[in-house]
Amino acid sequence: MRIGTFVHLFEWSHGDVAIECEAFLGPKKFSAVQVSPPNEHIVGDEWWTRYQPVSYALESRSGSHEAFVDMVKRCKAVGVDVIVDVVVNHMAAGSEGVGVNGTHYTNRNFDPLYSPDDFHHSESDNQSNCQVNDYNDLENVQKCDLVGLPDLDTSSPKVQKTIASYLDNLLEAGVAGFRLDASKHQESEALGQYLSQMSSTTVPYVFCEVIEGDEEAVKAEMYFDYCDVTEFNFAQEVGSNIVSPGKMKFLSGVGSSWGLIPSDSAVTFTDNHDTQRGNAPLTYKDGPLYDVFNIFLLTSDYGYPKLMSSYEFDDPDQGPPDSSPCDGHGWVCEHRRYGGLVAWRISAGENEVSNFQSLDDGEGDVICFSRGNAAFVAINRSEDTFVLKCGTETNLRAGTYYNVLDDNESTIDIDESGKVSNDIEIGAMGAVALHLGAMHEY
Ligand code: AAO
């Protein structure tokens, strides 16, 4: 079971990530931060320019090589690992261009890294390739170009060596983990081979971006030997029980019995940078209902949760604001709202969900559960204030606890039999979360 929590600081600059590690993520005990691809990419204001690599120089919209190294060092110093978004399935599209660090490229030619033969290509022409257009066909998904992006032949020894050397470079800078972008479009054995060719003695945490669609040819389980895997169905399945009223009561036992991948392999999230522009059940735009979803994500015993931290957008292509995050100018900073739950998860530790209760007489909008004797949460998804009755079982030992979702401003007493000692009001779309690490000292 994963007790940590990580956050994707999407499109933050290296300098701002370093400040956030020191000011918030470290003190709140986040295990890691996922940063946007730090290598050279195509020029342009759109966020997705970061997913079109031009070289592996650590120069990007987020900052210079030097700033990158400084960020990794400062985050590490306060106990926060840096997980890099690694884009090695493909390189930049188009017939010609210049990257943000001045590297010139032409069609499927990224001198000195890759030449046209390093990419999958048509039999008779190394300047072109088929397009991914049939997700039921493994070859099509893994050997053709995804949205026109030249697809690297990751089974080639030269390509594997080049990727392994990029990864080594990141580890040398102190990076602790990788998100392997578009893993689904790389043969899993080939992915395992380049990972095994890294020479660094650091063993990174690796998770693979694989969206397992119904009946599709690529299955998440193909990757379990090499990495954890993004479980996109968590958001869909759990989200549908949060979006519609009256269904919170069904959220007991989230896991394999729901058709999800094994908990120990799963990276979970409510939304990510793609789905918040696509089919995410809820995003920051949904207000308090989205908070309910994130509170469930962080208190669930399933998977390794990743919080999304966004900037506001209307146009889905829009790049990040030109200001520092969390100062109110265009950044959402969702993760700041749930800081207290990170320590809650650490207290909950390896304990599974127990004593799951539907509290509103079968209406199904208010639930509570414990994680052993260490942590307790009650979540009110309804539009009305709910009174958590004196006598509600928490499994916690007697004492006075802070509600960690309330900046520790309110306290709740638990009696000798592990029950709530007074009636407690939980606001609409609100929650109380108590744990052994946040008891009131006398
Ligand atoms: C940009 C332009 C393009 C242009 C291209 C080249 O937008 O118009 O052709 O440049 O010039 C990001 C952006 C892209 C952008 C790209 C490069 O999203 O718009 O293209 O940078 O700049 C598939 C992949 C998955 C991928 C996802 C977007 O499998 O790996 O598409 N995600 C990653 C990154 C993403 C990035 C890239 C990959 C490329 O996170 O940010 O692209 O580096 C189904 C399939 C999935 C498929 C989705 C979307 O999913 O199963 O494999 O993902 O469709 O096409 C349910 C179903 C599920 C379904 C899902 C969504 O959940 O169960 O099966 O709904 O419909």
Kindly report, residue by residue over 320-379, the tens digit of the pLDDT.
999 999 986 899 999 999 999 999 999 999 999 999 999 998 899 999 999 999 999 999
Cα of 363 from ligand 1 centre, angstroms: 38
Beta 366-371 vs 375-380: how paired, if at all? Answer: antiparallel
Q: Quick check: helix, strand or coil at residue 88? A: coil
Is the separation of the CB atoms in 369 and 355 below 8 Å? yes
- pLDDT at position 316 is 98
Cα of 211 from ligand 1 centre, angstroms: 10
- pLDDT at position 1 is 83
Contacts of 332 (CB under 8 A, 6+ apart): 284, 309, 310, 311, 312
CA within 13 Å, CB half, 278 = 10
Q: Quick check: helix, strand or coil at residue 70? A: helix
Beta 399-402 vs 304-309: how paired, if at all? Answer: unpaired
209 is catalytic: yes
The verdict on the CB of residue 213 being under 6 Å from ligand 1 is: yes
Per-residue pLDDT of 237-275, as tens digits, reads: 999 999 999 999 999 999 999 999 999 999 999 999 999
The verdict on the CB of residue 148 being under 6 Å from ligand 1 is: yes
Catalytic residue among 153, 187, 209, 360: 209
- pLDDT at position 245 is 97
The verdict on the CB of residue 224 being under 6 Å from ligand 1 is: no
Is the separation of the CB atoms in 212 and 219 below 8 Å? yes
Cα of 21 from ligand 1 centre, angstroms: 29
Cα gap 16→324, rounded to integer Å: 7
- pLDDT at position 441 is 67
Catalytic residue among 16, 20, 181, 228: 181
The verdict on the CB of residue 249 being under 6 Å from ligand 1 is: no
Q: What is the pLDDT along the chain (442 residues), one digit of tens a residue?
A: 889 999 999 999 999 999 999 999 999 999 999 999 999 999 999 999 999 999 999 999 999 999 999 999 999 999 999 999 999 999 999 999 999 999 999 999 999 999 999 999 999 999 999 999 999 999 999 999 999 999 999 999 999 999 999 999 999 999 999 999 999 999 999 999 999 999 999 999 999 999 999 999 999 999 999 999 999 999 999 999 999 999 999 999 999 999 999 999 999 999 999 999 999 999 999 999 999 999 999 999 999 999 999 999 999 999 999 999 998 689 999 999 999 999 999 999 999 999 999 999 889 999 999 999 999 999 999 999 999 999 999 999 999 999 999 877 889 999 999 999 999 999 999 999 999 999 986 5
Cα gap 72→290, rounded to integer Å: 30
The verdict on the CB of residue 211 being under 6 Å from ligand 1 is: yes
413 is catalytic: no
